[in-house]
Structure 1
C-alpha cells in the first residue's frame, strides 16, 4: 500500500502553511529553505499584506514540507493564487523522504518595492494563524525566530480578531493570543483597531 508521500511532490510552507489546521496535507516534516527570507508585501489587488518568500543568498527560513498526493496542485495553486510556484528542491533541507519540493513566492513584478507605495496592513488574524503554526511546530523559540527572519514589520497591523478578514482564521486560546500580543509589544508593534 502506498502512502501519500510515495512518489508525491512536496511544498515548502513558511507562513500559514506551517499551521497544519489550515490544510489536509500530511504528514508534515520540519524543514529549512536556504537562500530565502520572508517579507510582508502589499499587492496592488490586495487589501492586506501578504507574507512571501524572497530570494536572499545569505538567509535561511524554517518551515515545513508536506506531500501533494498525485502531484495535484490545483487546490494549493488556488489557495496561493497571488504567488508563483517555484522549484526549491535543491535548497530545502529536511529529514523527510526524497522528493521534488516547491515554494510559493509573490513575483517581484506583481509586488515591486517602490517608494511612496500604498501600504496594506498585516491582518492580525493572518499573523495569528502563522504564529499558531510556528508555536505548534517549533515552540516559542521558533516563533521568535519567525519574527527575526521576517522583514516588513514597519507595516501596520490591523486588529481584526473580533471579525477576522483572513479566510483561514483560527480561534486561538487566550494564552496563545497573550503570547502573540506580548511578542508584538516587545517589538514595538501596536495593532490598530478595525
Structure 2
C-alpha cells in the first residue's frame, strides 16, 4: 500500500525534494498558520484544525513507508492521519500531514522570525503549481502574516533555498507589504542563534 504525505509549505516547491508521485491536492478541515517550535530557532508554517477551511498543497509518495528522511526534514512536527480529508487525482491511500504539536509551538516573535528565504521557496512552489490565483489563495488561507521576517536573501539560512526570478521576488515582496509583515535585515537579529534552521 502506498503511503503519502500532504505538503502545504516548502514541500509544495518540487525543487526541494524528489518524492515520487507529487501532484496537487486539497486538505479540508485544516488551515496554515505561521508558528515557531521550541525545537527550532526560526518560525515555519504549520497547520491547525479549522472546520470550514480547505487548503491546497501536494501529495507525494513515501517509498517503502520509510519516513526517516522526511521526519528529519520536518523535525519538531508530528504526523497526523488525514487520509479521509485529502482529495487528489490518484488512488486513496494512507496520508499524513505534519503539524507542530500544540505544546511545542508559539507565534513568531523577534527572537524566532520567519526567514525570507523560506517564504521565497514556498511562494515559488505555489506559483509554479497553482499560478497567481493559487498564491492569492495561499496568502488568504494562512494566518499570522504580521510577523517578524528576517531578510536573509543574500545569505540564506534556510537549508533548501531556491533562486527566484525578478518577477517572483517582486510577488513575494508585494505579499509582505500587503500583509503587514515586519521585514528587517540581518543586523536586527542574532544570526549565530538562528543559523541552525
TM-score, with length taken from structure 1 = 0.90
1:29 pairs with 2:23: yes
The correspondence for 1:57, drawn from 37, 51, 59, is 51
2:105 match: 111
Which runs of 5 or more structure 2 residues have no equivalent in the other structure? 187-197
> Of Structure 1 and Structure 2, which has the larger fraction of its residues in helix?
2
**1:6-25 maps to which residues of 2 (within 5 A)?**
7-25=1-19
Residue range with higher mean Cα deviation, 118-127 or 23-32: 118-127
**8 Å contact kept, 1:42–1:119:** no
Residues in 1 aligned to 2:94 and 2:60: alpha-carbon distance in whole angstroms: 11
**8 Å contact kept, 2:113–2:147:** yes
TM-score, with length taken from structure 2 = 0.89
Residues in 2 aligned to 1:105 and 1:163: alpha-carbon distance in whole angstroms: 28
> Taking structure 1 as reference, are residues 174 and 46 closer, same or farther at Cα in structure 2, changes over 3 Å only?
same
The correspondence for 1:136, drawn from 122, 128, 131, is 128
How many residues get paired? 185
Residues in 1 aligned to 2:133 and 2:177: alpha-carbon distance in whole angstroms: 17
1:74 match: 68
Deviation of the 1:174 alpha carbon: 1.4
Deviation string for 1:88-118 (max 9, x for gaps)?
A: 10111111122110100000011156xxx76
**8 Å contact kept, 2:26–2:57:** yes
1:147 match: 139
- CA-based RMSD of the aligned residues comes to 1.5
Deviation of the 1:80 alpha carbon: 0.5
> Taking structure 1 as reference, are residues 135 and 126 closer, same or farther at Cα in structure 2, changes over 3 Å only?
same
Residues in 1 aligned to 2:99 and 2:173: alpha-carbon distance in whole angstroms: 27
Residues in 2 aligned to 1:188 and 1:110: alpha-carbon distance in whole angstroms: 26
1:169 pairs with 2:185: no
Residues in 1 aligned to 2:135 and 2:111: alpha-carbon distance in whole angstroms: 24
Deviation of the 1:56 alpha carbon: 1.2
Secondary structure of 1:33's match?
strand
Deviation string for 1:159-183 (max 9, x for gaps)?
A: 1000101011111121211121122
Deviation string for 1:108-132 (max 9, x for gaps)?
A: 011156xxx7651110000001101
1:4 match: none
